[in-house]
Amino acid sequence: MKLRYEFTVMDMGGEFAAVPVGDDAAKFHGMLKLNEVSAIILSKLKDEVKIMDIHNALKEKYDESTDEEIAEKLMPFLHYLFRSGLLMIKEDERKLFIVRK
């Protein structure tokens, strides 16, 4: 999986924002307001990455957190990016993004 657009993540004194850069600034108008966890996730999505690689990066940063706590932060944000059209996923990852009613 990977972001559809190129963003740069800015730390503004503990508050984070992602803004599109380059040609993508003309395609995506606006910015994303982030917390520290979502800023880490978004920065990992600049390149093609697997969910477990992001999970492991979060686990390394927040080593006191359980795998379940990390998943509770990671998956909703990935689902948000997917539903918003900002996340490109490979066919074999689609089952993780099926919306259950």
Tokens of 100: 């259950």
Residue 93 pLDDT level (bands cut at 50, 70, 90): confident
pLDDT tens profile 36-85: 999 999 999 999 999 999 999 999 999 999 999 999 999 999 999 999 99
Q: Which two tokens stand for residue 92?
A: 């074999």
pLDDT at residue number 96: 67
First to last CA, the chain: 24
3-state class of 22 per DSSP?
A: coil
Helix H or strand E encompassing 18 = strand 15-20
Contact 2, 88 (CB under 8 A): yes
Dihedral angle computed from the Cα positions of residues 32, 52, 85 and 20, in that order, rounded to the nearest 10 degrees: 40
The confidence score (pLDDT) of residue 37 equals 94
Q: Letter for the amino acid at 96? A: L
Q: Percent of the chain at pLDDT above 70?
A: 93
- What are φ and ψ of residue 86, in 5° steps? -95, -10
